[in-house]
Chain A
Protein backbone atom coordinates (compact mmCIF):
# COMPACT_ATOMS: atom_id res chain seq x y z
CA UNK A 1 0.00 0.00 0.00
CA UNK A 2 1.33 3.31 -0.99
CA UNK A 3 0.79 6.36 0.99
CA UNK A 4 -1.78 8.28 -0.88
CA UNK A 5 -0.67 11.79 -1.56
CA UNK A 6 -4.01 13.12 -0.48
CA UNK A 7 -4.10 11.42 2.92
CA UNK A 8 -2.60 13.72 5.52
CA UNK A 9 0.36 12.02 7.18
CA UNK A 10 -0.23 11.58 10.87
CA UNK A 11 2.37 14.05 12.06
CA UNK A 12 3.70 13.49 15.51
CA UNK A 13 2.50 16.63 17.30
CA UNK A 14 5.14 18.85 18.84
CA UNK A 15 3.28 19.00 22.15
CA UNK A 16 3.57 15.37 23.18
CA UNK A 17 2.39 14.44 26.62
CA UNK A 18 6.02 14.35 27.80
CA UNK A 19 6.75 17.79 26.44
CA UNK A 20 3.56 19.20 27.86
CA UNK A 21 4.44 17.72 31.18
CA UNK A 22 7.94 19.10 31.09
CA UNK A 23 6.61 22.56 30.23
CA UNK A 24 4.09 22.32 33.04
CA UNK A 25 6.84 21.21 35.40
CA UNK A 26 8.97 24.22 34.57
CA UNK A 27 5.99 26.53 34.90
CA UNK A 28 5.16 25.07 38.30
CA UNK A 29 8.66 25.52 39.68
CA UNK A 30 9.32 28.85 37.97
CA UNK A 31 8.26 31.15 40.85
CA UNK A 32 10.34 29.22 43.35
CA UNK A 33 13.34 28.89 41.05
CA UNK A 34 13.35 32.53 40.02
CA UNK A 35 13.04 33.45 43.68
CA UNK A 36 15.99 31.28 44.66
CA UNK A 37 18.11 32.69 41.86
CA UNK A 38 17.18 36.27 42.73
CA UNK A 39 17.15 36.14 46.52
CA UNK A 40 19.68 33.41 47.29
CA UNK A 41 22.09 32.54 44.47
CA UNK A 42 22.64 36.03 43.14
CA UNK A 43 23.24 37.53 46.62
CA UNK A 44 25.49 34.58 47.41
CA UNK A 45 27.48 35.35 44.27
CA UNK A 46 27.77 38.96 45.42
CA UNK A 47 29.01 37.77 48.81
CA UNK A 48 31.71 35.76 47.04
CA UNK A 49 32.56 38.84 44.96
CA UNK A 50 32.84 40.92 48.14
CA UNK A 51 35.09 38.27 49.67
CA UNK A 52 37.69 39.11 47.03
CA UNK A 53 37.74 42.73 48.12
CA UNK A 54 38.83 44.83 50.99
CA UNK A 55 35.77 46.88 51.81
CA UNK A 56 35.80 49.66 54.35
CA UNK A 57 32.24 50.84 54.62
CA UNK A 58 32.90 54.07 56.45
CA UNK A 59 35.83 55.22 54.35
CA UNK A 60 33.92 54.05 51.28
CA UNK A 61 36.87 52.11 49.86
CA UNK A 62 36.36 48.93 47.87
CA UNK A 63 39.56 47.43 46.52
CA UNK A 64 40.17 44.12 44.79
CA UNK A 65 42.59 42.06 46.88
CA UNK A 66 42.27 38.65 45.26
CA UNK A 67 42.63 35.75 47.67
CA UNK A 68 44.04 37.90 50.48
CA UNK A 69 40.93 37.44 52.63
CA UNK A 70 41.18 33.68 52.18
CA UNK A 71 44.83 33.75 53.21
CA UNK A 72 43.75 35.76 56.23
CA UNK A 73 41.22 33.01 56.95
CA UNK A 74 43.97 30.40 57.04
CA UNK A 75 46.18 32.56 59.23
CA UNK A 76 43.38 33.65 61.60
CA UNK A 77 44.50 32.50 65.04
CA UNK A 78 41.03 32.86 66.50
CA UNK A 79 39.38 30.65 63.89
CA UNK A 80 40.29 27.17 65.28
CA UNK A 81 38.74 28.12 68.63
CA UNK A 82 35.68 29.52 66.85
CA UNK A 83 35.22 26.34 64.80
CA UNK A 84 35.66 24.21 67.91
CA UNK A 85 33.04 26.27 69.77
CA UNK A 86 30.68 25.95 66.82
CA UNK A 87 31.16 22.18 66.71
CA UNK A 88 30.53 21.82 70.45
CA UNK A 89 27.53 24.12 70.30
CA UNK A 90 25.94 22.38 67.33
CA UNK A 91 26.62 18.86 68.59
CA UNK A 92 25.27 19.69 72.04
CA UNK A 93 22.24 21.45 70.62
CA UNK A 94 21.33 18.70 68.19
CA UNK A 95 21.74 15.86 70.68
CA UNK A 96 19.85 17.63 73.45
CA UNK A 97 17.16 19.03 71.20
CA UNK A 98 16.47 15.73 69.44
CA UNK A 99 16.39 13.57 72.56
CA UNK A 100 14.25 16.01 74.53
CA UNK A 101 11.91 16.43 71.58
CA UNK A 102 11.53 12.68 71.25
CA UNK A 103 10.97 12.21 74.97
CA UNK A 104 8.32 14.93 75.04
CA UNK A 105 6.67 13.57 71.91
CA UNK A 106 6.41 10.10 73.45
CA UNK A 107 4.95 11.55 76.65
CA UNK A 108 2.47 13.69 74.75
CA UNK A 109 1.42 10.77 72.57
CA UNK A 110 -0.16 9.08 75.60
CA UNK A 111 -3.89 8.93 76.07
CA UNK A 112 -4.26 11.25 79.03
CA UNK A 113 -6.82 13.82 79.99
CA UNK A 114 -5.74 17.37 79.30
CA UNK A 115 -2.85 16.29 77.10
CA UNK A 116 -3.57 19.13 74.66
CA UNK A 117 -2.96 21.61 77.46
CA UNK A 118 0.47 20.11 78.02
CA UNK A 119 1.18 20.15 74.30
CA UNK A 120 0.37 23.81 74.10
CA UNK A 121 2.46 24.67 77.13
CA UNK A 122 5.51 22.80 75.85
CA UNK A 123 5.09 24.52 72.51
CA UNK A 124 4.51 27.99 73.95
CA UNK A 125 8.17 29.18 74.04
CA UNK A 126 8.24 28.94 70.25
CA UNK A 127 5.85 31.87 69.99
CA UNK A 128 7.35 33.94 72.81
CA UNK A 129 9.53 36.78 71.58
CA UNK A 130 13.17 35.84 71.50
CA UNK A 131 14.17 39.04 73.28
CA UNK A 132 11.89 38.43 76.25
CA UNK A 133 12.88 34.78 76.40
CA UNK A 134 16.61 35.46 76.47
CA UNK A 135 16.34 38.27 78.98
CA UNK A 136 14.45 36.09 81.44
CA UNK A 137 17.02 33.36 81.13
CA UNK A 138 19.98 35.67 81.53
CA UNK A 139 18.25 36.76 84.71
CA UNK A 140 17.78 33.20 85.93
CA UNK A 141 21.34 32.19 85.07
CA UNK A 142 23.04 34.99 86.98
CA UNK A 143 25.40 34.02 89.76
CA UNK A 144 22.79 35.22 92.25
CA UNK A 145 19.92 34.24 89.98
CA UNK A 146 16.94 31.95 90.27
CA UNK A 147 18.67 28.70 89.38
CA UNK A 148 21.45 29.03 91.92
CA UNK A 149 18.81 30.09 94.43
CA UNK A 150 17.01 26.80 93.83
CA UNK A 151 20.26 24.83 94.06
CA UNK A 152 21.01 26.51 97.37
CA UNK A 153 17.77 25.13 98.76
CA UNK A 154 19.13 21.63 98.30
CA UNK A 155 22.54 22.60 99.61
CA UNK A 156 24.40 22.80 96.31
CA UNK A 157 26.48 25.82 95.40
CA UNK A 158 25.78 26.40 91.71
CA UNK A 159 28.46 27.61 89.31
CA UNK A 160 28.52 31.09 87.84
CA UNK A 161 26.68 29.79 84.78
CA UNK A 162 27.36 32.41 82.15
CA UNK A 163 30.84 33.33 83.34
CA UNK A 164 32.50 29.92 83.58
CA UNK A 165 33.73 28.58 80.23
CA UNK A 166 32.22 25.08 80.50
CA UNK A 167 28.84 26.10 81.92
CA UNK A 168 28.49 29.13 79.64
CA UNK A 169 28.34 26.84 76.62
CA UNK A 170 25.90 24.47 78.33
CA UNK A 171 23.69 27.39 79.35
CA UNK A 172 23.56 28.85 75.86
CA UNK A 173 22.67 25.45 74.40
CA UNK A 174 19.98 24.72 76.99
CA UNK A 175 18.30 28.12 76.63
CA UNK A 176 18.19 27.64 72.88
CA UNK A 177 16.80 24.10 73.23
CA UNK A 178 13.94 25.14 75.53
CA UNK A 179 12.99 27.90 73.13
CA UNK A 180 12.76 25.75 70.02
CA UNK A 181 12.35 22.13 71.03
CA UNK A 182 8.58 22.53 70.62
CA UNK A 183 8.88 22.53 66.84
CA UNK A 184 10.76 19.24 66.70
CA UNK A 185 8.48 17.84 69.38
CA UNK A 186 5.47 18.48 67.16
CA UNK A 187 7.18 16.93 64.16
CA UNK A 188 7.97 13.81 66.20
CA UNK A 189 4.50 13.71 67.68
CA UNK A 190 3.07 13.80 64.18
CA UNK A 191 5.37 10.99 63.13
CA UNK A 192 4.39 8.90 66.16
CA UNK A 193 0.73 9.32 65.38
CA UNK A 194 1.41 8.19 61.85
CA UNK A 195 2.65 4.80 63.04
CA UNK A 196 -0.10 2.23 62.34
CA UNK A 197 -1.53 0.95 65.60
CA UNK A 198 -1.94 -2.58 64.31
CA UNK A 199 1.82 -2.96 64.39
CA UNK A 200 1.86 -2.42 68.14
CA UNK A 201 -0.95 -4.84 68.66
CA UNK A 202 0.86 -7.45 66.64
CA UNK A 203 4.00 -6.86 68.65
CA UNK A 204 2.10 -7.18 71.88
CA UNK A 205 0.69 -10.46 70.78
CA UNK A 206 4.27 -11.53 70.19
CA UNK A 207 5.02 -10.54 73.79
CA UNK A 208 7.18 -7.52 73.10
CA UNK A 209 7.42 -5.05 76.01
CA UNK A 210 7.00 -1.30 75.76
CA UNK A 211 10.67 -0.59 75.34
CA UNK A 212 11.11 -3.29 72.75
CA UNK A 213 8.10 -1.99 70.82
CA UNK A 214 9.65 1.44 70.84
CA UNK A 215 13.01 0.23 69.61
CA UNK A 216 11.77 -2.27 67.04
CA UNK A 217 8.71 -0.50 65.67
CA UNK A 218 8.56 3.14 66.59
CA UNK A 219 12.14 4.18 65.99
CA UNK A 220 12.50 2.61 62.53
CA UNK A 221 9.16 3.99 61.40
CA UNK A 222 9.87 7.54 62.48
CA UNK A 223 13.49 7.46 61.28
CA UNK A 224 12.71 9.61 58.21
CA UNK A 225 11.42 12.32 60.54
CA UNK A 226 14.51 11.94 62.71
CA UNK A 227 16.71 12.49 59.68
CA UNK A 228 14.75 15.51 58.50
CA UNK A 229 14.62 17.17 61.91
CA UNK A 230 18.30 16.50 62.51
CA UNK A 231 19.19 18.24 59.25
CA UNK A 232 16.98 21.19 60.06
CA UNK A 233 18.31 21.37 63.61
CA UNK A 234 21.98 21.21 62.60
CA UNK A 235 21.52 23.83 59.92
CA UNK A 236 19.56 25.95 62.38
CA UNK A 237 22.19 25.52 65.09
CA UNK A 238 24.82 27.00 62.81
CA UNK A 239 22.66 30.12 62.41
CA UNK A 240 22.06 31.00 66.07
CA UNK A 241 23.50 34.24 67.21
CA UNK A 242 21.04 36.70 68.73
CA UNK A 243 20.80 34.60 71.90
CA UNK A 244 24.57 34.39 72.18
CA UNK A 245 24.83 38.12 71.74
CA UNK A 246 22.44 38.69 74.64
CA UNK A 247 23.60 35.94 77.00
CA UNK A 248 27.40 35.88 76.73
CA UNK A 249 28.55 38.13 73.88
CA UNK A 250 30.73 35.19 72.84
CA UNK A 251 32.54 34.98 76.18
CA UNK A 252 34.04 34.18 78.57
CA UNK A 253 37.15 34.46 76.46
CA UNK A 254 36.03 33.16 73.08
CA UNK A 255 34.33 30.03 74.41
CA UNK A 256 30.87 30.76 73.06
CA UNK A 257 31.91 32.63 69.91
CA UNK A 258 30.38 30.41 67.23
CA UNK A 259 31.08 30.96 63.55
CA UNK A 260 27.97 32.98 62.71
CA UNK A 261 28.58 35.27 65.69
CA UNK A 262 32.20 35.72 64.67
CA UNK A 263 31.05 36.51 61.15
CA UNK A 264 28.57 39.03 62.48
CA UNK A 265 31.27 40.68 64.61
CA UNK A 266 33.75 40.94 61.76
CA UNK A 267 31.26 42.34 59.26
CA UNK A 268 28.81 44.43 61.26
CA UNK A 269 30.73 45.37 64.39
CA UNK A 270 34.30 45.65 63.11
CA UNK A 271 33.16 46.75 59.64
CA UNK A 272 35.36 44.25 57.80
CA UNK A 273 32.77 43.36 55.18
CA UNK A 274 35.32 41.71 52.90
CA UNK A 275 36.56 39.35 55.58
CA UNK A 276 33.04 38.90 56.90
CA UNK A 277 31.98 37.79 53.42
CA UNK A 278 34.86 35.31 53.37
CA UNK A 279 33.63 33.86 56.65
CA UNK A 280 30.13 33.67 55.14
CA UNK A 281 31.49 31.55 52.32
CA UNK A 282 33.22 29.30 54.86
CA UNK A 283 29.99 28.94 56.83
CA UNK A 284 28.09 28.12 53.66
CA UNK A 285 30.63 25.46 52.64
CA UNK A 286 30.47 23.84 56.09
CA UNK A 287 26.67 23.75 56.13
CA UNK A 288 26.54 22.39 52.59
CA UNK A 289 29.08 19.65 53.37
CA UNK A 290 27.28 18.58 56.55
CA UNK A 291 23.95 18.39 54.80
CA UNK A 292 25.47 16.46 51.92
CA UNK A 293 26.96 13.91 54.30
CA UNK A 294 23.68 13.49 56.17
CA UNK A 295 21.76 13.14 52.94
CA UNK A 296 24.16 10.44 51.76
CA UNK A 297 23.84 8.61 55.04
CA UNK A 298 20.06 8.48 54.84
CA UNK A 299 20.08 5.21 52.96
CA UNK A 300 21.92 3.51 55.78
CA UNK A 301 20.00 4.82 58.75
CA UNK A 302 16.54 5.46 57.46
CA UNK A 303 14.07 2.66 57.30
CA UNK A 304 11.55 2.58 54.48
CA UNK A 305 8.55 0.35 54.38
CA UNK A 306 9.15 -0.61 50.80
Chain B
Protein backbone atom coordinates (compact mmCIF):
# COMPACT_ATOMS: atom_id res chain seq x y z
CA UNK B 1 0.00 0.00 0.00
CA UNK B 2 2.99 2.23 0.30
CA UNK B 3 3.61 2.82 -3.34
CA UNK B 4 4.00 6.33 -4.65
CA UNK B 5 0.72 7.60 -5.95
CA UNK B 6 0.01 9.21 -9.29
CA UNK B 7 -0.78 12.93 -9.10
CA UNK B 8 -4.35 12.27 -10.18
CA UNK B 9 -4.79 9.72 -7.42
CA UNK B 10 -3.37 12.21 -4.94
CA UNK B 11 -5.89 14.86 -5.89
CA UNK B 12 -8.70 12.32 -5.60
CA UNK B 13 -7.51 11.27 -2.14
CA UNK B 14 -7.21 14.84 -0.91
CA UNK B 15 -10.69 15.55 -2.22
CA UNK B 16 -12.16 12.49 -0.55
CA UNK B 17 -10.51 13.29 2.76
CA UNK B 18 -11.70 16.88 2.68
CA UNK B 19 -15.30 15.80 2.15
CA UNK B 20 -15.04 13.19 4.89
CA UNK B 21 -13.60 15.81 7.22
CA UNK B 22 -16.70 18.01 7.21
CA UNK B 23 -18.68 16.15 9.88
CA UNK B 24 -15.53 15.85 12.02
CA UNK B 25 -14.47 19.43 11.84
CA UNK B 26 -17.66 21.45 11.55
CA UNK B 27 -18.89 20.90 15.13
CA UNK B 28 -15.50 21.90 16.50
CA UNK B 29 -15.44 24.92 14.21
CA UNK B 30 -18.89 25.87 15.45
CA UNK B 31 -17.69 25.53 19.03
CA UNK B 32 -14.67 27.74 18.34
CA UNK B 33 -16.56 30.47 16.50
CA UNK B 34 -19.58 30.42 18.81
CA UNK B 35 -17.31 30.95 21.77
CA UNK B 36 -16.67 34.50 20.53
CA UNK B 37 -20.24 35.31 19.47
CA UNK B 38 -22.71 37.29 21.55
CA UNK B 39 -25.21 34.80 22.93
CA UNK B 40 -28.08 36.02 20.77
CA UNK B 41 -26.12 35.19 17.60
CA UNK B 42 -25.30 31.61 18.53
CA UNK B 43 -28.65 30.14 17.63
CA UNK B 44 -29.15 32.28 14.57
CA UNK B 45 -30.41 30.29 11.66
CA UNK B 46 -28.80 29.40 9.34
CA UNK B 47 -25.69 29.13 11.53
CA UNK B 48 -22.96 31.61 10.65
CA UNK B 49 -19.64 30.13 9.63
CA UNK B 50 -17.91 33.34 10.68
CA UNK B 51 -19.15 35.40 13.65
CA UNK B 52 -21.14 38.50 12.67
CA UNK B 53 -19.92 40.24 15.79
CA UNK B 54 -17.02 39.31 18.05
CA UNK B 55 -17.19 39.19 21.80
CA UNK B 56 -13.90 38.05 23.28
CA UNK B 57 -14.97 38.90 26.81
CA UNK B 58 -16.40 35.39 27.05
CA UNK B 59 -12.94 34.02 27.77
CA UNK B 60 -12.42 36.39 30.65
CA UNK B 61 -15.91 35.66 31.97
CA UNK B 62 -15.05 31.97 32.21
CA UNK B 63 -12.51 32.80 34.90
CA UNK B 64 -14.81 35.25 36.66
CA UNK B 65 -17.75 32.89 36.96
CA UNK B 66 -15.90 29.79 38.14
CA UNK B 67 -12.55 29.10 39.81
CA UNK B 68 -11.64 27.89 36.34
CA UNK B 69 -7.88 27.98 36.80
CA UNK B 70 -8.26 25.87 39.91
CA UNK B 71 -10.56 23.46 38.08
CA UNK B 72 -8.06 23.28 35.26
CA UNK B 73 -5.37 22.37 37.75
CA UNK B 74 -7.66 19.74 39.31
CA UNK B 75 -8.26 18.06 35.98
CA UNK B 76 -4.62 18.28 35.00
CA UNK B 77 -3.12 16.86 38.17
CA UNK B 78 -5.76 14.13 38.47
CA UNK B 79 -5.18 13.09 34.86
CA UNK B 80 -1.40 13.16 35.39
CA UNK B 81 -1.55 11.06 38.57
CA UNK B 82 -3.98 8.62 36.99
CA UNK B 83 -1.77 8.31 33.92
CA UNK B 84 1.40 7.64 35.91
CA UNK B 85 -0.35 5.31 38.33
CA UNK B 86 -2.00 3.35 35.55
CA UNK B 87 1.30 3.00 33.72
CA UNK B 88 2.91 1.47 36.82
CA UNK B 89 0.04 -0.81 37.81
CA UNK B 90 -0.75 -1.96 34.29
CA UNK B 91 2.79 -2.54 33.13
CA UNK B 92 3.47 -4.68 36.20
CA UNK B 93 0.27 -6.67 35.86
CA UNK B 94 0.60 -6.91 32.09
CA UNK B 95 4.18 -8.14 32.42
CA UNK B 96 3.25 -10.77 34.99
CA UNK B 97 0.32 -12.06 32.96
CA UNK B 98 2.47 -12.26 29.85
CA UNK B 99 5.85 -13.51 31.05
CA UNK B 100 5.60 -15.09 34.49
CA UNK B 101 4.24 -18.56 35.11
CA UNK B 102 2.25 -18.73 38.30
CA UNK B 103 -0.75 -20.82 39.34
CA UNK B 104 -4.18 -19.62 38.21
CA UNK B 105 -2.68 -16.83 36.10
CA UNK B 106 -5.18 -17.39 33.29
CA UNK B 107 -8.16 -17.57 35.63
CA UNK B 108 -7.05 -14.39 37.39
CA UNK B 109 -6.56 -12.67 34.04
CA UNK B 110 -10.14 -13.54 33.11
CA UNK B 111 -11.36 -12.08 36.40
CA UNK B 112 -9.40 -8.90 35.76
CA UNK B 113 -10.89 -8.69 32.27
CA UNK B 114 -14.34 -8.47 33.85
CA UNK B 115 -13.42 -4.90 34.63
CA UNK B 116 -13.62 -4.10 30.92
CA UNK B 117 -17.21 -5.18 30.78
CA UNK B 118 -18.91 -3.16 33.46
CA UNK B 119 -20.38 0.25 32.63
CA UNK B 120 -19.67 2.82 35.31
CA UNK B 121 -23.41 3.49 35.78
CA UNK B 122 -23.72 -0.06 37.12
CA UNK B 123 -21.39 0.31 40.06
CA UNK B 124 -21.64 4.01 40.82
CA UNK B 125 -24.03 3.68 43.78
CA UNK B 126 -22.05 1.00 45.66
CA UNK B 127 -18.83 2.90 44.94
CA UNK B 128 -20.40 6.05 46.31
CA UNK B 129 -21.34 4.20 49.50
CA UNK B 130 -17.83 2.79 49.87
CA UNK B 131 -16.12 6.13 49.43
CA UNK B 132 -18.57 7.71 51.80
CA UNK B 133 -17.63 5.13 54.43
CA UNK B 134 -13.98 5.97 53.87
CA UNK B 135 -14.67 9.70 54.19
CA UNK B 136 -13.59 10.42 50.63
CA UNK B 137 -16.68 12.16 49.29
CA UNK B 138 -15.86 15.57 47.86
CA UNK B 139 -12.20 14.62 47.61
CA UNK B 140 -10.33 13.63 44.47
CA UNK B 141 -9.49 10.16 45.79
CA UNK B 142 -12.32 8.33 44.00
CA UNK B 143 -11.30 9.91 40.69
CA UNK B 144 -7.70 8.80 41.24
CA UNK B 145 -8.02 5.39 42.92
CA UNK B 146 -10.77 3.86 40.78
CA UNK B 147 -9.14 4.58 37.40
CA UNK B 148 -5.67 3.45 38.54
CA UNK B 149 -6.69 0.23 40.23
CA UNK B 150 -10.22 -0.43 39.01
CA UNK B 151 -12.02 -1.04 35.77
CA UNK B 152 -10.49 1.74 33.58
CA UNK B 153 -6.93 0.40 34.02
CA UNK B 154 -7.88 -3.03 32.71
CA UNK B 155 -7.67 -1.91 29.11
CA UNK B 156 -4.16 -0.65 29.81
CA UNK B 157 -3.19 -3.95 31.42
CA UNK B 158 -4.55 -5.73 28.38
CA UNK B 159 -2.48 -3.60 25.99
CA UNK B 160 0.67 -4.11 28.08
CA UNK B 161 0.11 -7.87 28.23
CA UNK B 162 -0.24 -8.04 24.47
CA UNK B 163 2.98 -6.11 24.08
CA UNK B 164 5.02 -8.23 26.48
CA UNK B 165 3.71 -11.46 24.93
CA UNK B 166 5.21 -10.40 21.61
CA UNK B 167 8.58 -9.61 23.21
CA UNK B 168 11.32 -12.15 22.36
CA UNK B 169 12.32 -14.25 25.36
CA UNK B 170 16.09 -14.42 24.76
CA UNK B 171 16.90 -11.15 26.47
CA UNK B 172 15.25 -12.26 29.66
CA UNK B 173 16.98 -15.61 29.57
CA UNK B 174 20.33 -13.88 29.25
CA UNK B 175 19.53 -11.66 32.18
CA UNK B 176 18.49 -14.65 34.26
CA UNK B 177 21.77 -16.35 33.61
CA UNK B 178 23.43 -13.18 34.87
CA UNK B 179 21.45 -13.67 38.09
CA UNK B 180 18.98 -10.84 37.79
CA UNK B 181 15.73 -11.17 39.77
CA UNK B 182 12.30 -10.75 38.28
CA UNK B 183 11.92 -7.18 39.38
CA UNK B 184 15.24 -6.15 37.91
CA UNK B 185 14.45 -7.94 34.65
CA UNK B 186 11.17 -6.09 34.50
CA UNK B 187 12.60 -2.74 35.42
CA UNK B 188 15.91 -2.83 33.54
CA UNK B 189 15.04 -4.87 30.47
CA UNK B 190 11.35 -5.30 29.74
CA UNK B 191 10.07 -1.85 30.68
CA UNK B 192 12.55 0.20 28.62
CA UNK B 193 11.54 -1.88 25.61
CA UNK B 194 7.89 -1.16 26.34
CA UNK B 195 8.12 2.61 25.81
CA UNK B 196 5.91 2.64 22.71
CA UNK B 197 3.19 0.62 24.40
CA UNK B 198 3.44 2.81 27.50
CA UNK B 199 3.02 5.84 25.29
CA UNK B 200 -0.20 4.49 23.87
CA UNK B 201 -1.46 3.60 27.34
CA UNK B 202 -0.58 7.07 28.56
CA UNK B 203 -2.60 8.84 25.87
CA UNK B 204 -5.65 6.61 26.28
CA UNK B 205 -5.56 6.92 30.05
CA UNK B 206 -5.06 10.66 30.01
CA UNK B 207 -7.98 11.18 27.62
CA UNK B 208 -10.23 8.94 29.68
CA UNK B 209 -9.48 10.77 32.89
CA UNK B 210 -9.68 14.20 31.22
CA UNK B 211 -13.17 13.48 29.85
CA UNK B 212 -14.62 11.73 32.90
CA UNK B 213 -18.09 13.14 33.51
CA UNK B 214 -20.40 10.94 35.59
CA UNK B 215 -17.97 10.25 38.43
CA UNK B 216 -16.99 13.86 39.22
CA UNK B 217 -20.66 14.85 39.24
CA UNK B 218 -21.45 12.14 41.73
CA UNK B 219 -18.37 12.37 43.96
CA UNK B 220 -17.59 16.10 44.03
CA UNK B 221 -19.78 18.83 45.35
CA UNK B 222 -17.85 22.05 45.86
CA UNK B 223 -16.84 24.17 42.88
CA UNK B 224 -13.24 24.38 44.13
CA UNK B 225 -12.96 20.62 43.67
CA UNK B 226 -14.68 20.36 40.28
CA UNK B 227 -13.00 19.00 37.19
CA UNK B 228 -13.34 20.54 33.75
CA UNK B 229 -16.18 18.50 32.16
CA UNK B 230 -18.23 19.15 35.26
CA UNK B 231 -17.33 22.83 35.33
CA UNK B 232 -18.56 23.16 31.75
CA UNK B 233 -22.13 22.53 32.88
CA UNK B 234 -21.95 25.30 35.47
CA UNK B 235 -22.03 28.30 33.16
CA UNK B 236 -25.72 29.09 33.47
CA UNK B 237 -27.82 32.20 33.72
CA UNK B 238 -30.13 32.99 36.60
CA UNK B 239 -32.62 30.28 35.69
CA UNK B 240 -30.47 27.30 34.79
CA UNK B 241 -30.36 28.23 31.11
CA UNK B 242 -26.92 27.67 29.64
CA UNK B 243 -24.75 30.69 28.80
CA UNK B 244 -23.71 29.03 25.59
CA UNK B 245 -20.99 31.39 24.47
CA UNK B 246 -19.19 31.23 27.80
CA UNK B 247 -19.72 27.50 28.07
CA UNK B 248 -18.28 27.03 24.60
CA UNK B 249 -15.33 29.27 25.43
CA UNK B 250 -14.64 27.01 28.39
CA UNK B 251 -15.13 23.92 26.23
CA UNK B 252 -12.64 25.30 23.71
CA UNK B 253 -10.06 25.88 26.41
CA UNK B 254 -10.67 22.34 27.62
CA UNK B 255 -10.13 20.77 24.21
CA UNK B 256 -7.26 22.79 22.72
CA UNK B 257 -4.38 21.70 25.00
CA UNK B 258 -5.24 18.03 24.56
CA UNK B 259 -5.38 18.54 20.82
CA UNK B 260 -1.97 20.23 20.91
CA UNK B 261 -0.51 17.36 22.89
CA UNK B 262 -1.93 14.95 20.35
CA UNK B 263 -0.44 16.89 17.45
CA UNK B 264 2.98 16.73 19.06
CA UNK B 265 2.74 13.15 20.27
CA UNK B 266 0.77 11.55 17.49
CA UNK B 267 3.73 10.13 15.59
CA UNK B 268 5.06 8.32 18.65
CA UNK B 269 1.57 7.34 19.58
CA UNK B 270 0.82 5.68 16.27
CA UNK B 271 4.21 4.00 16.06
CA UNK B 272 3.88 2.89 19.66
CA UNK B 273 0.64 1.16 18.90
CA UNK B 274 2.11 -0.33 15.76
CA UNK B 275 4.82 -1.97 17.82
CA UNK B 276 2.46 -3.38 20.38
CA UNK B 277 1.03 -5.70 17.76
CA UNK B 278 -2.34 -5.72 19.50
CA UNK B 279 -3.12 -9.35 19.09
CA UNK B 280 -6.26 -11.02 20.35
Contact = CB atoms under 8 A, between A and B. Distances in A.
A254 interface: no
Interface of B: 1-5, 10, 13-14, 16-17, 20-21, 23-28, 30-31, 43, 45-47, 88-90, 92-93, 95-97, 100-103, 105, 108, 111-123, 125-127, 129-130, 145-146, 148-151, 153-155, 157, 162, 181-183, 186, 200, 204, 207, 210-211, 213-214, 228-229, 232-233, 247-248, 251, 254-255, 258-259, 262-263, 266-267, 269-280
A128 B34 CA distance: 14
A200 interface: yes
A111 to B, nearest CB: 6
B175 to A, nearest CB: 13
11 contacts: A35-B149, A36-B149, A39-B127, A43-B130, A50-B125, A118-B17, A124-B24, A131-B229, A191-B278, A200-B1, A235-B117
A132 B263 contact: no
Contacts of A288: 114, 117
Given A24-B102, A194-B277, 10 more contacts: A32-B157, A36-B150, A39-B127, A44-B118, A120-B259, A127-B211, A129-B228, A146-B47, A235-B116, A267-B121
A215 B112 CA distance: 35
Chain A facing B: main interface SS: helix
Chain B facing A: main interface SS: helix
Given A210-B1, A227-B280, A110 B13 contact: yes
B20 to A, nearest CB: 7
Nearest to A107: B17
Interface in A115-143: 116, 118-133, 136-137, 139-140
A298 interface: yes
Contacts of B117: 235, 284, 287-288, 291
Nearest to A117: B263
Interface stretch (A2-10, A14-22, A90-98, A154-162): A14-22
Contacts, number: 289
Interface in A210-264: 210, 213-214, 218, 224-225, 227-228, 231-232, 235, 238-239, 241-242, 260, 263-264
Contact of B115 (A21, A40, A225, A239): A40
> Interface size class for chain A?
35 or more
Contacts of B182: 20-21, 24, 28
A197 interface: yes
Interface stretch (A69-77, A80-88, A182-190): A182-190
Interface string A261-292: 00110010000010000001001100110010
